[in-house]
Amino acid sequence: MIAVVPSWNSPPQNPTLDIGSIHVWRVSLAQTQSCLQSLQQTLSTDEQTKAQRFHFPKDRSQFIVSRGALRAILSRYLHINPSLLRFDCNPYGKPSLIASQNGDTLRFNLSHSRGITLIAITKNRDIGIDIEGINPKFPCLEIAEKFFTPLESYVLRSLSEHLQPTAFFTCWTRKEAYIKAVGKGLSIPLNQFEVSLVPGEPAALLNIEGNPEEASRWSLIELIPSSDMVGAIAVELCCWKLHCWQWTGEF
């Protein structure tokens, strides 16, 4: 799939998901104190307890905004008060809505980095999203040797030095998006499947060890949130239409 550089549009009040559509919402984690208080009131008791465990106020605030915005956004699709939404987690920790609140139909995933959260939403198929800031000083080759496949490490080493950080985080976000979509997290070793990683080349899930036909079930979409970040969406099936919204802090 080609890279998508989104135009973050103002969202409709009552968004509608067509079959095959993907909606991605961008949420700034820096919100006003009044917005923060309103979001906190919608959180469950468990979520509020988790928020209080953060030592630093900034981390606590970002958790509240991320979880509160997720509730506010999902409530637009379901026409349910955000505070009434209930979530389950699978054995690997992937969250979903409970079945009675369309958890079997409305699927979502989220990721955050450098002060923003992206929330991906679709219908009737699994989805995963991951974003990372590009760190030019990160030990890319060393980490790739430990976690990537031999082919991915070889391709990374073959690139010019100035491209290696972007290629590394491109590879990492695609792998993370896939394992989040499958819903098994790091129980799937990152070196047991291969993705494309060369900047400018199409995003693709190339091979899954021991199950080569599985790769054809998934689409990878490269998402570029900003000039110093990379991201990816993994979604079942190949038909998709992407809409990108900027959450404005409204319920």
Q: What is the pLDDT of residues 132-183, one digit of tens each?
A: 999 999 999 999 999 999 999 999 999 999 999 999 999 999 999 999 999 9
Convert the pLDDT of each residue in 201-211 to its tens digit: 999 999 999 88
pLDDT band at residue 2 using 50, 70 and 90 as cut-offs: low
Report the C-alpha gap between 151 and 156 in whole angstroms.
9
Phi, psi of 220 (to 5 degrees): -110, 135
Q: Is the pLDDT of residue 218 over 70?
A: yes
E strand or H helix at 38: helix 33-42
Tokens standing for residue 185: 């997290």
pLDDT tens across 9-55, in order? 899 888 999 888 999 999 999 999 999 999 999 999 999 999 999 99
User: Per the structure block, which two tokens stand in for 42?
Assistant: 């919608």
Mean pLDDT, rounded, of the chain: 93
